[in-house]
Amino acid sequence: MKLNSTVLLTLILLTLMLGAGSVSAFLGFNLGSSALKGITTPDGRPATKFASNKTNNPQQTGVTLLKEQEILKIVKARIEGKTKAARSENLEEDDEETNSSKQKPEEKPPEVTEEKLQPGFPITAQSEGVTLSVQSARYSGGDLLLKVKMQNKGTDSVRFLYSFLDVTDDKGRTLSASTEGLPAELPLNGPTFSGTVSIPTALLDDVKKVSLALTDYPAQKLKLEVSDIPIDR
């Protein structure tokens, strides 16, 4: 019988493939074996580790447990030590405070000096228990400064808008002025408040006296008028 050429070619190819696979497997096994020479797998067994630790550390025979009384003694000693340290710190702080208090001299209250008033001052106006007093008049920095004091001894608190403050000269002309330090509200039976009324000196060339007029807001029940304030230079 004559073999078919196709069958013969198929057999030859299968033979070659098997041979090549065997050769590559053999070569791969040899390469892997040579690469893993000298490498060993780790021993993960806990019993073996425990035994090796015992052999490496022959002095470690086991864990020693403290008695309950010894533990209580140690804790008590530590607590007493901390308490003594805290007491000593508190005593040191107290000593420092007493020493510092002894070293500091007694502070004397500042002496209150009475302000010397200019001749003709103060000039006071009063309405409904509210007092407006001009204490002095002096020139400074291109302005006439009128020192003013206000106090409320009436029955109610009083509010003011100082844009309603009228300042006139001895010829009846209205002068522009600004205020500083005067309160927007005077409380009932409150302290005395001080402030300043400033008038530009450019408006006072031929003026010898000025007048102030102020009313409360919004009721406008009060009428405080301080007239003929001397401003001679």
Quick one: DSSP state of residue 165?
Answer: -
- Work out the average pLDDT over 128-132: 92
CA distances from 39 to 29, 32, 34, 102, 127 (A): 16, 12, 10, 82, 111
Sequence-distant (≥ 6) Cβ neighbours of residue 156 within 8 angstroms: 188
- Work out the average pLDDT over 192-217: 93
Per-residue pLDDT reduced to its tens digit, 6-31: 888 888 999 999 988 888 888 888 88
Rounded to the nearest integer, the mean pLDDT of the chain is 80
State the Rg of the chain over Cα: 54
Q: Is the backbone of residue 223 left (phi > 0), alpha (psi -120 to 50) or beta?
A: beta
Question: Over 80: is that where the pLDDT of 146 sits?
Answer: yes
pTM: 0.50
Sequence-distant (≥ 6) Cβ neighbours of residue 196 within 8 angstroms: 145, 146, 147, 148, 179, 180, 181
DSSP string, 91-113: HHHHHHHHHHHHHSPPPPPPPPP
Sequence-distant (≥ 6) Cβ neighbours of residue 134 within 8 angstroms: 121, 122, 123, 124, 146, 147, 148, 212, 226, 229
Q: Helical H runs in the chain?
A: 5-35, 46-56, 68-103
Most confident of 155-159, 187-191, 195-199, 219-223: 195-199
Parallel/antiparallel/unpaired status of strands 158-159 and 185-186:
antiparallel
pLDDT value of position 193? 95
